[in-house]
Structure 1
Amino acid sequence: MHVAPPSTTLVQDHVALAEIELCGELIIAASAADGERLSPARIDEVLKVVTERAALGRQD
């Protein structure tokens, strides 16, 4: 069995960390929500999603 040296095991996957952070934000929002589910608009707000229409409106 080959074991990698400690220095290579400290490499972080920044994409995975960002995904974990976004999931955490969704969990927090869901736990604070009044209803059973988050609306698509609320999910977009939590994830900071900008719709194409909104993005075009801001460019003017």
Structure 2
Amino acid sequence: MTKPLDLRLRDDDVLDEIELTANLIIAASEADGRLPQVEVDAILGVAWPTQPPTVP
């Protein structure tokens, strides 16, 4: 017999990671090509003090 799922268990950090990943997947699926690093950073909430490095 299996134990019932304890719905009180919650990991907010993991839930935040899942939400960020889902947002990236949605943005990538809606994009015509590769997502620019600036857009990825914006989705992830990363702030650059200057311009981000360019990717060749």
After TM superposition, the score normalised by the length of structure 2 is 0.68
The count of residues paired between Structure 1 and Structure 2 equals: 47
Task: Please point out which of 1, 25, 28 is paired with 1:27.
Answer: 25
Of 10-19 and 37-46, more deviation after overlay is shown by 37-46
Q: Which has the higher helix share?
A: 1
Deviations 1:13-51 (A, max 9, x none): 10000000000000110011011x212111011112111
What is the aligned-residue RMSD (CA, Å)?
1.9
Could you list the runs of 5+ residues in structure 1 that have no partner in the other structure? 55-60
Could you list the runs of 5+ residues in structure 2 that have no partner in the other structure? 52-56
| Larger Cα-atom Rg | 1
**Which contiguous aligned blocks of 4+ residues in structure 1 show a shift greater than 4 angstroms?**
none
Q: Percent identity?
A: 43
